[in-house]
Structure 1
Amino acid sequence: MNQDKLIKTAQAMVTGNKGLIAMDESNPTCNKRFAALDIPQTPKMRLLYREMLITTPGLNEGINAAILYDETVRQKLSDGTPFVKAVKNAGIIPGIKLDMGAKDMAGFPEEKITEGLDGLRERLAEYSEMGLRFAKWRAVITIDDGVPTRRGIVNNAIILAQYAALCQEAGLVPIVEPEVLMDGKHDLKRCFSVTEHVLHTVFDQLYKQRVLTEGIILKPNMVLPGSNCQDQSNTEEIAHATVKCLMRTVPASVPGIAFLSGGQTSQQASERLNAMNANYKSEMPWALTFSFSRALQYPAMDIWNGKEENSKRAQKALHHRAICNRLACSGEYSEILEKSISSANERDLEFL
């Protein structure tokens, strides 16, 4: 394990109030999103879409790193440039999603366990040869009556730790993603309790697996009430609960925490990230940033709609969201700035 390399890469992923773009949707997930917009669900269209994203002018003004999917890292852009090289050319660090998806856990059918450890050492060696510098693994935790169980949390934490150790052995920074889903009727207090338990367990297992915490990135959920909860907490309450939970559970040695968006709207994700940094940045030992998928991509995907003539406008929308989230990482995002950036983009488009 090259500790210095791991630490430098992890720090580079979260520096400068910038974050990550998660463009690692599996083919079935990407196809589902395309189907909702009547976009053809083909390898060519998936490539054209991701090419549009990564060739967005100025994307690295708000993005340090991009999480890719296995299909994507083996593809080439329209001009023949290998996709991984195109990411590097954009001034962005390339990484890869490694897990094979969440499946029903044997004996605990209401809970999920993430698969993909078989053959992982060999896959990591190949990805390292391709020039990828980090990886991601997602565990899924559901809140409902009687779940999550202690067994479900521990099993997922053990697998996350094993994955992280293998990544560091291969010289790749592991993104550790234990996602407590926002689906359900639970309130903010219940999400806090479960998230705290999950993070304590994950870091316990990382320690037992001898994972270097200075060489990882944590990708957690924000502490949120369930999407079907009648009492939807406000932005300040969510920011306070989330930072309090992280301060209780995440070692100061971790260089950065990059939130998933988890079904929040683009503006909700930005507003809540901004409130955390605006109110608590001076108290936090780690960078607090973003690793959004839908909250970054959806406006662009909706505009693009599978049509080349919409690409420039879609890229403007993606750049807009990247800049909004960069501002949220410094606690400077606001609704006024949101609208002013959008208006400036529209003026620019008039001259295209």
Structure 2
Amino acid sequence: MAKDTVLEQSQADRIAAGAGFIAALDQSGGSTPKALKQYGIEEDAYSTEEEMFGLIHDMRCRIMTAPEFTSEKVIGAILFERTMRGEVNGMPVPTYLWEERGVVPFLKIDKGMEDVKDGAQILKPIPGLTELLATAREFGIFGTKERSVIHEANETGIAAVVAQQFELGKEVIAAGLVPIVEPEVLIDSPTKAEAETILKAEIEKQLDLLDETQNVVLKLTIPTEAGLYDSLADHPRVLRVVALSGGYSTADACEKLSKNEKMIASFSRALAEGLSAQQSDDEFNAALAENINKIYGASV
């Protein structure tokens, strides 16, 4: 499902103006055991990485094929690379998401982060990035996601994170994709509010350097000060500002998000809360529907 201009525009319109949220289905190697444990599968249930990724793929397929997982409430989904290359109901996952569900597919491209320096963690190098972005386009992926982390209100560290995010973002745009820029501020940072003020200023600087062909999505921690990022959402180079759940429970994340009218959700752990491998399909679908409805309600 290689990209064409009409398809790209319809997907861009869905992300920019669609009612709903972006589901994060991109747990990678390090976070997969935790995600499986939350889903009721302990580490002794698998002995190889292949088995582990097979189990998480099954969970993702169960979510993607659930009755409530449609474009009525879910406008996009972020995928792990193995998920992009996998199949659901006999179709490539990105094709299934868009053609069967109306959900815009994104790809997580980061390979983890460097150690903390100046109160922040920048991205590790991404080997084979050019080839990965070309492959993503061939699979019909609309955009990418790359996560850095900010631990404290350190201007040097935050500036480094944001500069790197936008540098990478420009490579993604040059490859014909839309980057989700994700400089996450940790929710338990003792200087969270101050870090967010610095972060906003650094993002504004970088946005103002983009030309009119360069658009991004911003994925940010729900701010301590409600509405802090409204002006970023209004920037002409920003398609959408989405919120990460950052470790908050579904209820807390939705409650905080609902106070930010110009942000929508892009939740991972909160989306899967209460889902279990041991549930019947009816039980699973009901639990997922409840989460989707809560997150949708907070997003609109």
TM-score (structure 2 length as normaliser): 0.85
For 2:60, the equivalent position in structure 1 comes to: 50
The reply on whether 1:314 has 2:284 as its aligned counterpart is yes
What is the Cα deviation at residue 109 of structure 1? 7.4
- 3-state SS of paired residue (2:22): strand
Counterpart pick for 2:159 among 150, 154, 157: 154
Alignment-mate amino acid for residue 220 of structure 1: L
Name the amino acid aligned to 1:50.
Answer: R
Contact 1:134 1:173 in 2 (8 A): yes
Letter in 2 for 1:17: A
Say which of 100, 110, 126 aligns to 2:111: 100
Offset at residue 313 of structure 1 (A): 1.6
Cα distance, 1:248 vs. partner? 5.3
Partner amino acid for 1:324? K
SS at match of 1:154: helix
AA in 2 matched with 1:43? F
Query: What does residue 164 of structure 1 align with?
Result: 169
Q: 1:71 aligns with which of 76, 82, 92?
A: 82
8 Å contact from structure 2 (residues 151, 186) kept in 1: yes
5+ residue gaps, structure 2, are: 47-51
Distance 2:266 2:254 in 1: 11
63-72 or 175-184, which deviates more:
175-184
Normalised by the length of structure 1, the TM-score is: 0.74
2:249 aligned with 1:265: yes
In the TM superposition, 1:1-352 aligns within 5 A as 9-35=11-37, 37-39=40-42, 40-41=45-46, 42-60=52-70, 61-77=72-88, 79-88=89-98, 89-105=100-116, 108=117, 111-143=120-152, 148-184=153-189, 186=190, 190-208=191-209, 210=211, 212=213, 215-224=215-224, 241-243=225-227, 245-247=228-230, 251-253=234-236, 254-277=238-261, 287-300=262-275, 304=276, 306-307=277-278, 310-330=280-300
Distance in structure 1 (CA, Å) of the matches to 2:202 and 2:212: 14
Unaligned runs of 5+ in 1: 225-240, 278-286, 331-352
Q: Classify 1:257/1:329 alpha carbon distance in 2 versus 1 (closer, same or farther; 3 Å).
A: same
Matched position secondary structure for 1:115 = coil
Asked if 2 retains the 8 angstrom alpha-carbon contact of 1:19 and 1:326, the reply is yes
Per-residue CA shift, 1:278-310, capped at 9, x if unaligned? Answer: xxxxxxxxx42111111111222xxx2x34x53
Distance (whole Å) between structure 1 residues aligned to residue 258 and residue 234 of structure 2: 22
* Native 8 Å contact 2:121 2:150 kept in 1: yes
**Per-residue CA shift, 1:258-283, capped at 9, x if unaligned?**
11111111111112222333xxxxxx
Alignment length (residue pairs): 286
Shift >4 Å, 4+ stretches? 2-8, 209-213, 248-251
From the two aligned structures, give the one with the greater helix fraction: 1
> Would you say the 8 A contact 1:62–1:326 is kept in 2?
yes
Partner secondary structure for residue 242 of structure 1: coil
Deviation at 1:247, TM superposition (A): 3.6
3-state DSSP class of the match of 2:30?
helix
**1:151-179 deviations in Å (ceiling 9; x for gaps):** 21122112111121112112211111111
Name the SS for the 1:31 alignment partner: helix
Specify the structure having the higher radius of gyration (Cα). Answer: 1
Taking the aligned partners of 1:276 and 1:322, their CA distance within structure 2 comes to 18
Q: Quick check: 2:27–2:35 contact (8 Å CA) kept in 1?
A: no
CA RMSD of aligned residues (A): 2.5
Deviation at 1:63, TM superposition (A): 0.2
Counterparts of 1:94 and 1:216, CA distance in 2: 15
Q: Percent identity?
A: 25
Secondary structure in structure 2 of the residue aligned to 1:256: strand
- What's the secondary structure of 2:110's corresponding residue? coil
